[in-house]
Amino acid sequence: MAGEEDAILAWTDEETSGLTLDDHVLEVAVVFTDTDLNELGSFETLVRPQPSTFARILADPIVSDMHRKSGLLSALRAGGDDLPTVDEAEAALLGRVD
């Protein structure tokens, strides 16, 4: 395939407040590699919690336990309104892709 040697792969990981379409994005991470899996760059950000985010997380014992143990809940509380919104996080990520 032409240009395959110049391809850049994006490996993504997202943390959310649950597994439904109504749940919120909490954290986004992307690692960019070439086709030989050499890391070319990365992007990571927490996302500003929406008003109902903590209630949604705490309503699900599995999600609550996971995010408490990982430190994500504490990090979200500490960041609060200083964290980017989901739209701002998306724009920052797309800025890295260009």
Question: In terms of residue numbers, what domain contains 86?
Answer: 4-97
Residue 98, pLDDT > 80, answer no
Coil vs helix vs strand at 3: coil
Q: Using CB atoms within 10 Å of the CB of residue 91, give its burial: 0 to 12 exposed, 13 to 18 middle, 19+ buried.
A: exposed
Report, as an integer, the average pLDDT of 24-47: 96
User: What percent of the chain shows pLDDT beyond 70?
Assistant: 94
Q: What is the pLDDT of residue 67?
A: 93
Report, as an integer, the average pLDDT of 73-96: 95
19-28, 30-39, 40-49: which has the minimum mean pLDDT? 19-28
In terms of Cα–Cα distance, which of 82, 64, 62, 60 is closest to 73? 64
Residue 15, pLDDT > 50, answer yes
CATH of the domain at 84: 3.30.420.10
Total structural domains in the chain?
Answer: 1
Q: Find residue 16's DSSP bridge partners.
A: 25
Report, as an integer, the average pLDDT of 18-23: 86
